[in-house]
Structures are given as structure tokens and as C-alpha cells.
């Protein structure tokens, strides 16, 4: 039986490290997207994002948050915002030595949410 991407990257503990790096070293330092997090409880955001990415990568269904459309409602996110986040996720996964093939798989999952996130 083939491992899920969630298992390949090391499970929730490893994903939490990726998410922490994603926000602290990339997203929050990028003026294209950091303003969207000015009023955000980042500890809660990190926990929420870890569960969401874990589920998106084939891990256990722990994500019980809002739909992507509802979560991004009123934000008026544009393609450049979405693209910046995707690039940061790529770079965070690469930083933790996830293979390009596995990163591509993860980003394909993220790309499927694009229409639910943009222009809400």
C-alpha cells in the first residue's frame, strides 16, 4: 500500500513545522499578502492551517473550519495574492526537503481551491 503524501512528509508534526516556517519566514514578511493577517490570531491560524494542510495531503480529517469561499469572504483576493501564497507553500515544503513531485501533488490540491478563494 502506497503512503499518502501526509505520511511521506512526516505527518502532522512535520506539517506544523512547514506551516510555522510558511507564515513566520515567508507570508508575514511579504508585503503582497501580509496585510491580510494583521488582525489574525496567528497561533489559531497556524493550528487551523496545519489541520487543513494535513487533510489536503491525505491525512486524517480534522479540518472542521469554514468552506474556502466562506473563510475568504470579503477579502477580495486577487490572482497575485493566491500566487504568492502558493509560491510560499512551495518554498516552505522545499525548505523541509519535500520532493518536487510531492510538492507538485500538494500544489495541485491547493490549485483546485483557487476559484473558491479568489474574488470572494
Q: pLDDT of the chain along its 120 residues, tens only?
A: 778 889 999 999 999 999 999 999 999 999 999 999 999 999 999 998 898 888 878 888 766 667 778 888 888 899 999 999 999 999 999 999 999 999 998 899 889 989 988 875
- Note down the domain range covering 110: 5-117
**CATH number, residue 94:** 1.10.490.10
Based on the structure, what is the number of domains in the chain?
1
* Three cell numbers, residue 3: 503512503
Amino acid at each position: 500500500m502506497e503512503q499518502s503524501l501526509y505520511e511521506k512528509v512526516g505527518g502532522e508534526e512535520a506539517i506544523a513545522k512547514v506551516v510555522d516556517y510558511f507564515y513566520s519566514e515567508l507570508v508575514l514578511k511579504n508585503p503582497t499578502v501580509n496585510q491580510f493577517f494583521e488582525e489574525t490570531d496567528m497561533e489559531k491560524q497556524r493550528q487551523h492551517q496545519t489541520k487543513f494542510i494535513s487533510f489536503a495531503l491525505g491525512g486524517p480529517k480534522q479540518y472542521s473550519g469554514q468552506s474556502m469561499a466562506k473563510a475568504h469572504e470579503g477579502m477580495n483576493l486577487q490572482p497575485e495574492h493566491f500566487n504568492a501564497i502558493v509560491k510560499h507553500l512551495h518554498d516552505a515544503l522545499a525548505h523541509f526537503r519535500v520532493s518536487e513531485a510531492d510538492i507538485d501533488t500538494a500544489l495541485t490540491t491547493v490549485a483546485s481551491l483557487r476559484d473558491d478563494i479568489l474574488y470572494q
